[in-house]
Amino acid sequence: MNRVRQLATALAVTTFVALSSATAQSAYFGLGGGVTVPLSDYKDTDNAGWHVLGKVDIHIPMSPVGVRVDAIYSQTSQKAPATGNTKVAGGTVDVVWHIPTTVPGLKPYVVGGGGVFNYNAGGGSTTKFTWAAGLGASIGAGPIHAFVEARYISVQLTPTHLKFVPLTAGLSFGS
């Protein structure tokens, strides 16, 4: 449990530093949602579900690299004969690499980082370190951008890791 507190504290401090520096950088606040696709052992026990995502993207001027802080809540329904839902909630701090392109308004990106997620399948909950990586793209002009992305998320449960892919679409607003 001490390790979880240390990870949560590190996530909170990193989030504070990232958001504090947002005044000097350009920041986008985003909301999205979509389908959660369970993988590996998780797909054997649960059906596909849904999720919501909130994020803050901090773009560093003149750099293809930025920082992102996000939070996700996901719910899947358990397969028969089990009943109930599996709930996963948490957040990550990520590095975002914006892939250069010549198409105006289109911004493909690669995202990856780590954080903590809480897992609850009805029999109690546990919070563990999580890592995530994925691809996405945003398109838009001015303060509003639409985005789509797919990420691979692995919650470090024992004995097997909880693996899933959230497919997300949403809108970002900012300067």
pLDDT confidence bin for 42, thresholds 50/70/90: very high
Q: How far lies 125's CA from each of 40, 63, 95, 119, 175, in Å?
A: 20, 40, 28, 5, 38
pTM listed for this prediction: 0.84
pLDDT in the model for residue 23 = 45
DSSP calls for 83-117: -SEEEEEEEEEEEEEE---SSTTEEEEEEEEEEEE
Least confident of 53-57, 99-103, 120-124, 145-149: 120-124
Position 123 confidence tier, pLDDT thresholds 50, 70, 90 = confident
Contact 49, 34 (CB under 8 A): no
**CATH classification number, 2-174, choose in 1.10.230.10, 2.40.160.20, 2.40.50.100, 3.30.470.20:** 2.40.160.20
